[in-house]
Amino acid sequence: MITHSSYVVEPWRLRETELSLDVLAQSESVFALSNGHVGWRGNLDEGEPHGLPGAYLNGVHETRPLPYAEAGYGYPESGQTMINVTDGKVIRLLVDDHPCDLRYGELTAHERVLDFRTGVLHRTAEWTTPGGRAVRITSSRLVSLTQRAVAAVVYEVTPLDGPAAVAVQSELVANEQLPDTGGDPRVAAAIGSPLRPEEDFAQDTRLRLVHRTERSGQRVGAAADHLIEGPEGTLWSSQSEPDVSRLTVTATLEPGQRLRLVKFVAYGWSAERSLPAVHDQVDGAVAAARSTGWEGLVAEQREYLDRFWACADVEVGGDAQIQQAVRFALFHVLQAAARGEERAIPAKGLTGTGYDGHSFWDIESFVLPVLTSTAPQTVASVLRWRHATLPAARQRARQLGLAGAAFPWRTITGAECSAYWPAGTAAFHVNADIANAVIRYVTATGDMEFARGPGLELLVETARLWRSLGHHDTEGVFHLDGVTGPDEYSAVTHDNLYTNLMARRNLVAAAEAAVRYPERAAELGVDDEESAAWRDAAARIAVPYNAALGVHEQSEGFTRLQHWDFDATSPDQYPLLLHFPYFDLYRKQVVKQADLVLAMLTCPDAFTAEEKARNFAYYEPLTVRDSSLSACCQAVLAAETGHLRLAYAYLGEAALMDLENLEHNTRDGLHMASLAGTWIALVIGLGGMRHHDRPDGGPGALGDGADPTAAGARLGFAPRLPEPLSRLAFTVLVRGRRLRVDIRSSTVRYTLAEGGPLRLLHYGEPVTVTPSEPVELPVPPPAEVAEPEQPTGRRPADRLGRLAAAGSDADG
Amino acid sequence: MITHSSYVVEPWRLRETELSLDVLAQSESVFALSNGHVGWRGNLDEGEPHGLPGAYLNGVHETRPLPYAEAGYGYPESGQTMINVTDGKVIRLLVDDHPCDLRYGELTAHERVLDFRTGVLHRTAEWTTPGGRAVRITSSRLVSLTQRAVAAVVYEVTPLDGPAAVAVQSELVANEQLPDTGGDPRVAAAIGSPLRPEEDFAQDTRLRLVHRTERSGQRVGAAADHLIEGPEGTLWSSQSEPDVSRLTVTATLEPGQRLRLVKFVAYGWSAERSLPAVHDQVDGAVAAARSTGWEGLVAEQREYLDRFWACADVEVGGDAQIQQAVRFALFHVLQAAARGEERAIPAKGLTGTGYDGHSFWDIESFVLPVLTSTAPQTVASVLRWRHATLPAARQRARQLGLAGAAFPWRTITGAECSAYWPAGTAAFHVNADIANAVIRYVTATGDMEFARGPGLELLVETARLWRSLGHHDTEGVFHLDGVTGPDEYSAVTHDNLYTNLMARRNLVAAAEAAVRYPERAAELGVDDEESAAWRDAAARIAVPYNAALGVHEQSEGFTRLQHWDFDATSPDQYPLLLHFPYFDLYRKQVVKQADLVLAMLTCPDAFTAEEKARNFAYYEPLTVRDSSLSACCQAVLAAETGHLRLAYAYLGEAALMDLENLEHNTRDGLHMASLAGTWIALVIGLGGMRHHDRPDGGPGALGDGADPTAAGARLGFAPRLPEPLSRLAFTVLVRGRRLRVDIRSSTVRYTLAEGGPLRLLHYGEPVTVTPSEPVELPVPPPAEVAEPEQPTGRRPADRLGRLAAAGSDADG
């Protein structure tokens, strides 16, 4: 059984050398193109065969009622599902009346290449029709990073062994027939044919369709224009119907003669604006794209990506597959975020409909750390989206009897869409994750306009939530009861340690921000009593610890619970949630994903080195990694606690999640958090990068008074490479500076590629790097540490062993 | 606004003296007739107006898919809903072409009387048609306690002021149109028109309909025959259609002349048997009823009830309303159970469709204690039903990864129908409640055939469940984690004290039963190691206690939680679950219903008197009584801890739950548990009756070796009457003995009405009562104790104050 496509290992490209129909959907996800606003899955130009056809617009969704057999107060009534919008990438081909469908005839060659530096997907195919005529098809496709509404395709066909009558049909298609989801008929009803036609148009080479969703009332427009190059006698015509607008080009080609079509597509949508407004918008965008031209779009794309890679590239020596994977990851993370512009980043970006296209805490906690260091402008955009959803979050908090804002567990618009509250609404940590993203962004960029505006309001409203959610006990300890932490195999626990530490930071940061911006804070109603209450709650927050075992507790009483019987659990019973009831998972010591381990990553200064080592050793044998969010966190703590071989194994798992389809669901879209996790495992894990807290648990440097060269700035590194990596080099943007960190096995070199002097910590020791003077320092040799066990059968694939077995292959 | 009907206070009858259309549905519930197999709501004979038409057969239901917006492993896929079967009570009347509908014309008199000694519902009406003709209508109705399939009606009409052309249509009606449920369209689909016609028949005075439910595949037959008495010229004919079979009788009556119809109705149903078999069954039953005749049925009914009241009657001096209420309660509890014959008792009996007609733990924990002392043959029947569902319970345990049997939280057939697992499946205490019902029944009756057969198997399979559900911690303490206790405002807690104490008794009883019946136990696979493991788990089970406060904890850590802000909760925010999310209720100290207090009732010997007093004082201010299961338990502990006035107030609440519609949902059916609670509050509360445990927590007397006159027999009383009760007398059946306990304010008299000598405890002191010698003992005066507070606005209505205000009324 083929479970995943295999791609050629190259440093800057993802190359597929044959077409495997069994795993078509996975390749559609990995070859997806997006700019964060428009997303096109890597479907074949001809539309079929397909795994899952997909064209998405960030924010376009349909609503559907959420059914409950037993309803409860505060349960969300309405769900949201990202829908497949008008598909502009379809270019059907007929050769001598044979429709080009690669399931028929003979496919003698098929190659697809996604180039991370050009941002263009190239395809070459050689196909012989069932009638025996061989043709070469080439196409190139991009979703523009510079022209937000625009995508474009170049499609060429050439007969190889004799003349051919060729017809090319370039289409806009709405309400594409989707594969059977096999599930709930209500879901199918909502997403199967979600678009009601409002306008269809075709004239000369121009096409347009405007539709509207029924319940969410969003108007979606798509337009296309074309350039046609063909031999004399090439003809074209266009026609439209409510759900399809089509340009048909016909030509009779001699061998070697080429028919070439350039297709410019533009999208627009609005829940507010009129049909003529949307209509004009997409026509205008397509005209602008046509005037830029294909070559112009390609040049802009390259220029945009050159700028990105200059700030973001990670170089890995000694493991070519990881080298490729981290660039693949960064490329897709950028694609998900680049032009979102105050919209959410879905957990799968715009690469598929997994998780209904919802955004979760994954974004703030996994994706934004990467972007903060590499493309910080996108971070401000995501956080401004969160800020724009504050009215819904405030309303949700009121509904739950709480103050401040309660951000949703999963959403497209900002309204809570989680229908199972113990693993949804109760996971309040999403609020601290958002606050932490604000702190991280402001600390790294010094964007004080943001800090004073949306940043302050986000910190204040989330701090208010924590203060009202928690309470002091008779001894004054502040507890957050009945919440769910990151680990989804525990729920509705008291004093989840991750949540408590993150809430503490949130409370302290809000109090500090209120001091820094007193007028704005007063406008938000913050007074000294309120910020004192935040500080006091933070100072006395419960930190569950089992003194007998010498380990922190994931939540109050966790270490007292029964251990999961891993020996009695067979390999085919993972993920556990599909084979065991929640009731059983919740009441035992079994961890789906890093939770306490994540706390040690995000709040590194709340634990001593010895505590980290003991905690990691305790939780590692309980953690099954049934979530794609786990491996990268475990990589970081494995590295910090000296388990470099294990860190390397987890790095491999995070990096290959989608390229090797490790969770068997890459078909539904890419795991953005795990892609980001590749960078996290490398930079935060092996690079040992941390933004250290102050001793009181407050964030390192939030305010505009903080001088990045002063002692208050607490960016630190503690790099260490596992065998066989010979090198790891990455760039971090911090306070207008571009710091290059170049790690070899026994030294590290810090270079300022841009910006003024920077003080940082190297293994805890302060060092100042100046533009003129790179600093080279030694990397201490790793100590010998016994490696912890994982649950039976859940040990990550040993990457070192795999590389050794693969020999020189791995080094490409 | 009228919120409930008011009934005349009489000792042996419930009398309604006028018809109030606003509260029709409540009266339909209180006037419902049933024998536990067939149930007829107290609908008007003419069918309309109605609140909710209802004819029910115990076990007849339709299934429906349970929807989940986010499904999970082990969630039940199918729900069950009790359906309204063929209605045999409808007798429509036309007077001079005016249909008799009491909403039109003028109703000059209307009285209904339910007599608890005869078991017959009488009705008298005087109605003037819109055309001005006055008629008297009388009817009498019974559901036979002796002929299980049979119900009967006598209907008479007499013109009062001039001749009238009268037509009487006696019908069997299937798929009656129900009032809009306003809810889920899927539910409406399942229950709106649930019967598919299979046969309809009408000939002479005989009617028959046979239908079948679509998904559950149950065949339901109903037949009727009639006796007609009228003046010369009285004619009749009959006809049938798929959903109605009808006898029409016409006569022209002079004033004072009477048309009289006697209608015999019989029901049968089966999921197995053929159409002819069911057809013959109902025809046979109706023929038998006709041969008994109306007077014969009435005589049998009286005889049956005389026997019941001889064993069950409770006499209350000084409060006529409570006197009536306890007989009303006992009558309905008997009706729910009398002829169930190995079917469940639904939470609402067969009086309405509330809770979908499901059976819950209420039955074993509230209804069966009453029946064990008053009509024990019905208890064996219910427990045999549970035993018959063991295959489903074993399968459910397997699905949950547990050993033994996991009985459902709510069900009709034995399959789990709870769609919200934290308040359903996790409420494992239902298993101990069933085991405790077995222990109680065997202890009280000495039915050793039952003990050795179904009893042993129920104890063993539930003990296995507990052993596999729990685990020992590093210090050997046995914990039951992640379970929900009786209080539905907490869920998925560790070591719920009620659950733990009840599981302890279950484990000990199973081990003892295995010793007593070694061969049967061996057949069930029990060996010494297994029963040792049960004993050990029981001996070391966790009993959460907060030493600083000196109170037991409802569950581990409960007393550390934040207190609910009762002062900020307005009266219209009760029941809390309709106004606050579960997440908020679960994480705070707020108690829906007696939980720890119930533990003190069911396991009285697990607490010292001081602990009971402190615990009651602690939990009383936290308990909001948003469940009808609470007041009676609080009455018992209030009485035991010396708060007699409070006990009396809670007794009043339990007793008037349905008569005064205190929870505003009596329309959906009567609260069987609260009706039973009237007896519990009186007998266990004011009578202080307890079956005491042995010091090791084991049940008092389970085996056949136990001599009820020996020290091992631990039936005790500690009676004490609140002002203004002058007397409380009740009968308890125990081991073939009929013990009468007659309490006055300062003395109690124990009399053996039947059976050999009995040893009992009076205030802890052993006393032996012999048939010839009643024993009269003093009742100690109550100590002065400060009364605990209830949550703001949740104090029960002070019954003493109410009585004082009502003056002589109350003493009827």
In this prediction, residue B305 carries a pLDDT of: 98
Q: How far apart are CA B790 and CA B625, in angstroms?
A: 10
CB A663 within 8 A of CB A627: no
> Does the distance separating the beta carbons of A401 and B73 come in below 8 Å?
no
Q: Is A272 on the interface with B (CB under 8 A)?
A: no
Closest C-alpha among B228, B125, B121, B213 to residue B170: B228
pLDDT digit string (tens) for B83-106? 999 999 999 999 999 999 999 999
Give the span between the Cα atoms of A155 and A263, in whole angstroms: 8
Q: Does B478 touch chain A (CB under 8 A)?
A: no
Q: Do B582 and A425 touch (CB under 8 A)?
A: no
Nearest to B586 among A399, A418, A482 (CB): A482
**Residue B737 above 50 pLDDT?**
yes
> Which range has the worst mean pLDDT, A141-150, A697-706, B372-381?
A697-706
Q: Which among A401, A471, A583 has the least Cβ separation from residue B400?
A: A583
CA atoms within 13 Å, Cβ hemisphere of A543: 18
Asked if B400's CB is within 8 angstroms of A581's CB, the reply is: yes
Q: What is the pLDDT of residues B398-443, one digit of tens each?
A: 999 999 999 999 999 999 999 999 999 999 999 999 999 999 999 9
Q: Are A4 and A805 in contact (CB under 8 A)?
A: no
Q: What is the 3-state secondary structure (H, E, C) of A689-735?
A: CEECCCCCCCCCCCCCCCCCCCCCCCEEECCCCCCCCCEEEEEEEEC
Whether residues B492 and A556 touch (CB distance < 8 A) is answered with: no
**CA dihedral defined by B705, B709, B710, B713, rounded to 10 degrees?**
80
Share of chain B above pLDDT 90, in %: 88
Quick one: average pLDDT of A339-358?
Answer: 94
Predicted confidence (pLDDT) per residue in B551-602, tens digit:
999 999 999 999 999 999 999 999 999 999 999 999 999 999 999 999 999 9
A481 touches chain B (CB under 8 A): yes
CB B732 within 8 A of CB B726: no
Other CB atoms within a 10 A radius of the CB of residue B275 amount to: 13
Quote the tokens at residue B46. 């003419």
The residue length of chain A stands at: 812
Mean pLDDT is lowest, of A255-259, B190-194, B511-515, for B190-194
Judged by CB atoms closer than 8 Å, whether chains meet at B68 and A419 is answered as yes
What residue of B is the nearest CA neighbor of A562?
B471
CB half-sphere exposure, A766, CA atoms < 13 A: 11
Contact: A425, B68; criterion CB under 8 Å: no
User: Is some CB atom of chain B closer than 8 A to the CB atom of A711?
Assistant: no
Q: Is residue A195's pLDDT more than 70?
A: yes
Secondary structure of residue A170 in the 3-state scheme: strand
Across A282-311, average pLDDT: 98
Q: Which helix (H) or strand (E) holds A233?
A: none
User: Coil, strand or helix: which one is A217?
Assistant: coil
Quick check: B648 and B799 in contact, CB under 8 A?
A: yes
Omega within 30 of 0 (cis) for the link into B575: yes
User: Is residue B174's pLDDT more than 80?
Assistant: yes
Whether residue A712 lies within 8 A of chain B, CB to CB, comes out as no
Mean pLDDT of chain A: 94
Q: Within 10 A of A776 (CB to CB), how many other CB atoms are there?
A: 12
Q: What share of chain A is helix, strand, coil (3-state, %, to 5)?
A: 35, 25, 40
Give the C-alpha distances (Å, rounded to integers) separating B599 from A721, B361, B528, B559, B628: 60, 14, 30, 17, 17
Nearest-neighbour CA in chain B from A670: distance (Å): 21
Considering only the beta carbons, identify the residue of B421, B483, B587 that sits closest to A482: B587
Kindly list the distances between the CA atom of residue A512 and the CA atoms of A461, A466, A469, A507, A698, in Å, as whole numbers in the listed order: 14, 16, 20, 9, 9
Catalytic residue, candidates A171, A176, A488, A653:
A488
Contacts of B491 in chain A (CB under 8 A): 492
pLDDT at residue B765 tops 50: yes
- CA dist B692 and B359 (Å) reads 28
Token output for B781: 């005066």
Closest C-alpha among B582, B400, B543 to residue A492 = B582
Q: Is A256 on the interface with B (CB under 8 A)?
A: no
Predicted confidence (pLDDT) per residue in A16-56, tens digit:
999 999 899 999 999 999 999 999 999 999 999 999 999 99
Stated as kind and residue range, the H or E segment containing A172 is strand A164-173
Count of Cβ atoms closer than 10 Å to residue B788 Cβ: 17
Residue B413 tokens read as: 């057939």
Strands A98-99 and A106-115: unpaired
Q: Please report the pLDDT score of residue A714 as a whole number.
A: 80
Q: Does B763 contact A at CB distance below 8 Å?
A: no
Q: What is the ipTM of this complex?
A: 0.91
Q: What is the pLDDT of residues A623-679, one digit of tens each?
A: 999 999 999 999 999 999 999 999 999 999 999 999 999 988 999 999 999 999 999
Instruction: Report all structural domains of chain B as residue ranges with CATH numbers, in order of start.
Output: 13-310 (2.70.98.40), 313-691 (1.50.10.10)
Average model confidence (pLDDT) for chain B? 94
Q: Which of B587, B589, B590, B626 to mutate to test the interface with A (most CBs of A within 10 A)?
A: B587
B519 is an active site residue: no
Dihedral of the CA atoms B439, B443, B449, B451 (nearest 10)? 20
How much of chain B, in percent, has pLDDT values that exceed 70? 95
Classified as helix, coil or strand, A677 is helix
Q: How far is B355 from chain A (nearest CA, A)?
A: 11
pLDDT one-digit tens code per residue, A502-546:
999 999 999 999 999 999 999 999 999 999 999 999 999 999 999
User: What residues contact B599, with CB distance under 8 A and at least 6 apart?
Assistant: B497, B498, B501, B502, B552, B606
Tens digit of each residue's pLDDT (9 = 90 or more) over B277-315: 999 999 999 999 999 999 999 999 999 999 999 999 999
Active-site residue, from B176, B488, B553, B620: B488
Contact B74 A421 (CB under 8 A): no
Q: Testing the interface with A: which of B417, B583, B585, B589 to mutate, by most A Cβ within 10 A?
A: B583
Average pLDDT over residues B802-809: 71
CA separation for the pair B355, B182 (Å, rounded): 16
Q: To the nearest whole angstrom, how far is the Cα of A425 from the nearest Cα of chain B?
A: 8
Running DSSP on this structure, what letter comes out for residue A268?
E
What global pTM score does this model have?
0.94
- Measured between alpha carbons, how far is A136 from A268 in angstroms, rounded to an integer? 34
pLDDT at B706 over 50: no
Asked if B178 is an interface residue toward chain A (Cβ–Cβ < 8 A), one would say no
| Residue B22 φ then ψ, to 5° | -65, -30
Residue A412 per-residue DSSP state: S
Is the pLDDT at A566 greater than 70, yes or no? Answer: yes
Q: Chain A partners of B400 at a C-beta cutoff of 8 Å?
A: 581, 583-584
- The SS3 call for residue B303 is helix
Q: What's the token pair of residue A694?
A: 């102050």
Written as six digits, the tokens of A741 are 């960190």
Strand order in the sheet with B33-34: B33-34, B38-40, B55-57
CB neighbours of B339 closer than 8 A, spacing ≥ 6?
B35, B36, B37, B145, B148
Q: With an 8 Å Cβ cutoff, are A69 and B66 in contact?
A: yes
Does pLDDT of A392 surpass 50? Answer: yes
Q: Is residue B697 scored above 80 in pLDDT?
A: no
* Token code pair at residue B766: 């052993």
H or E, element range at A113: strand A106-115
Is the pLDDT at A4 greater than 80, yes or no? Answer: no
Mean predicted confidence (pLDDT) in B207-220: 97
Model confidence at A797, pLDDT cuts 50, 70, 90, reads very high
Look at A51-60, A234-243, B171-180 and tell me which has the smallest mean pLDDT. B171-180
What pLDDT score was predicted for residue B731?
A: 97
**Burial track B16-55 (b if 16+ CB lie within 10 A, e otherwise):** beebeeebbbbbbbbbbbbbbbbbbbbbbbbbeebbbbbb
On whether the CB atoms of residues B513 and B456 are closer than 8 A, the answer is yes
Token pair, residue B604, equals 């009285």
Q: Which of residues 317-356 of A touch B (CB under 8 A)?
A: none
**Between A481, A560, A584, which is nearest B400 by CB?**
A584
pLDDT of amino acid B341: 86
Q: Could you give the CA distance from residue A676 to residue A367 in angstroms, rounded to a whole number?
A: 5
How close B75 comes to chain A (CA, Å)?
8
Tell me, what's the pLDDT at A807? 62
**pLDDT bracket for residue A801 (50, 70, 90):** confident
The separation between the first and the last C-alpha atoms of chain B, rounded to the nearest angstrom, is 26
pLDDT of residue B699: 59
Residue B578, chain A, CB below 8 Å: the answer is yes
Paired tokens of A126: 């050689």
Q: Nearest by CB to A562, which of B66, B184, B471? A: B471
CA nearest B151: which of B306, B45, B257?
Answer: B45
For residue B808, pLDDT beyond 70: no
Q: What is the DSSP letter of B205?
A: T
Report yes or no: A422 at the B interface, CB cutoff 8 Å: yes
Note the pLDDT tens digit of each residue in B328-360: 999 999 999 999 889 999 999 999 999 999 999
Q: Which residue of A has its CA nearest to B490?
A: A482
C-beta of residue A117 within 8 angstroms of C-beta of residue A138: no
Contact: A421, B581; criterion CB under 8 Å: yes
pLDDT at B636 over 70: yes
Model confidence pLDDT, tens digit, residues A77-102: 899 999 999 999 999 999 999 999 99
Average pLDDT over every residue of A682-709: 69
- Number of other CB atoms surrounding residue B520 within 10 Å: 18
User: Which member of B73, B79, B583 has the closest CB to residue A579?
Assistant: B73
Is the Cβ pair A581, B481 closer than 8 Å? no
Using CB atoms, which residue from B67, B492, B579 is nearest to A586?
A: B492
